[in-house]
Amino acid sequence: MQHTRREFVRAAAVTAVAPILSRIGWAQSYPSRPVRIIVAAGPAGVPDILARLIGPWLSARLGQQFVVDNRSGGGNNIGAEAVVHAPPDGYTLLLVSTSNAINATLYEKLSFKFVRDIAPVATLVRQPAIMLVNLSIPATTIPEFITYAKANPGKLNMGSPGIGSGPHMAGELFKVMTGIDMVHVPYRGGGGPALTDLLGGQVQVLFQAPVGSIEHVTAGKVRALAVTTAARSELLPNIPTIGEFVPGYEASLWFGLGAPRATSKDIVEKLNKEINAGLSDPTMIRRLADLGGGVLASSPAEFGKLIEDDTEKWGKVVKFAGIKPE
């Protein structure tokens, strides 16, 4: 009887430990084949460039190709949905952005809940938007602009790359917190068409990512009043933040990587470790700076908190402003 009892205990112990050993072995061998990074946007934009920066780094560190798969459309939701429903094996990742936090409230009938269905892996970069005005606007500071806008309610057009985009929401938050009235003019095709019309005076205000707009600021073709991040931008250190004049204002454009929710914690942590190593590499830091962003390293838990906080924050703005998707 004693012999039988010992055999039973030994068998139970092996049964309990086997799944743990299996997961550890799986994580140690990961990746054993190419990994897809789904980008919910077209080629050549900032999200695509970011994925094509971090992909080769991970390929070199982990010995397998990390291939970018562009899935544009549906307000970034098509790409997100593809990852939500992918096998949780670490071979399908998502380039996550502020848009995903915004979309959680903007779109009422999504087939997934982002904060529930995507596992945060690692943050990559945080960008400001720059508040730009046409030179015809007689304001050189945020206080002067607020005064002018309040004296001309509904007469200023605010362009954006589209309804619910990060720059659009930065502008809506500014409107909410200052009590001014501007007419939103959404554009298709990214920020290029909106910037063209800002230069031409068809719109008077634009919240725009640094890429593609800084050269117009330095050439004196548009006026930069402020940046939307809590801290000043290294690219434009003499440009103040909006928060210096509107206490509590902050609107970052951030990017990171996510995976299907049930992805092994060991795989998530392995990816996080290698990504954070890349974010400390001087060459990577310079290339991210060229995109107008600052390195944003975090743990998966910290990234999850950022997603949750911004989902709540932008949800309030969407509801208050009554914003509806196109």
CA distance 3 to 9: 10
Q: Does the structure show a pLDDT above 90 at 11?
A: no
Q: pLDDT per residue over 216-269, tens digit each? A: 999 999 999 999 999 999 888 999 999 999 999 999 999 999 999 999 999 999
Q: Is the peptide bond before 247 cis (omega within 30 degrees of 0)?
A: no
What pLDDT is attached to residue 15? 53
Chain centre to alpha carbon of residue 121: 13
74 dihedral zone (left: phi>0; alpha: psi -120 to 50; beta): left
CATH topology of domain 31-126+252-321: D-Maltodextrin-Binding Protein; domain 2 (3.40.190)
The residue ranges of every structural domain in the chain are 31-126+252-321, 130-244
9, burial (CB in 10 Å: exposed 0-12, middle 13-18, buried 19+): exposed
Edge-to-edge strand list for the sheet holding 223-227: 183-186, 157-160, 205-208, 130-133, 223-227
Least confident of 173-182, 210-219, 252-261: 210-219
CATH number of this structure's domain 130-244, picked from the four choices 3.40.190.10, 3.30.450.20, 3.40.50.2000, 3.20.20.210: 3.40.190.10
Query: Average pLDDT, stretch 23-31?
Result: 69
Q: pLDDT per residue over 285-302, tens digit each? A: 999 998 888 999 999 999
Q: pLDDT per residue over 47-60, tens digit each? A: 999 999 999 999 99
Q: Does the structure show a pLDDT above 90 at 211?
A: no
What pLDDT is attached to residue 18? 44
What pLDDT is attached to residue 27? 61
Angle subtended by helix axes 46-62 and 282-290, to nearest 10? 170
Is there a contact between 145 and 211 (Cβ–Cβ < 8 Å)?
no
What pLDDT is attached to residue 21? 44
Query: Average pLDDT, stretch 65-83?
Result: 93
Which position has the higher pLDDT, 73 or 282? 282
126: part of which helix (H) or strand (E)?
A: strand 118-127
Q: Does the structure show a pLDDT above 60 at 14?
A: no
**Distances from the Cα of 21 to the Cα of 14, 18, 33, 100, 132, angstroms:** 10, 5, 21, 35, 55
Q: pLDDT per residue over 120-154, tens digit each? A: 999 999 999 999 999 999 999 999 999 999 999 99
75 dihedral zone (left: phi>0; alpha: psi -120 to 50; beta): left
Shared fold status for 31-126+252-321 and 130-244: yes
CA distance 98 to 105: 12
Q: Does the structure show a pLDDT above 60 at 23?
A: no
Q: What percent of the chain has pLDDT over 90?
A: 81
60 phi, psi to nearest 5 deg: -70, -35
**Distances from the Cα of 93 to the Cα of 50, 184, 185, 258, 306, angstroms:** 13, 33, 33, 6, 18
What pLDDT is attached to residue 308? 98
What pLDDT is attached to residue 4? 56
Measure the CA dihedral 109/111/116/118, to 10°: -120
pTM comes to 0.88
What pLDDT is attached to residue 293? 87
Average pLDDT of the chain, as a whole number: 91
Buried b (16+ CB within 10 A) or exposed e, 128-140: bbbbbbbeebeee
Tokens of 325: 């998707």
At residue 308, what is the residue type?
A: E
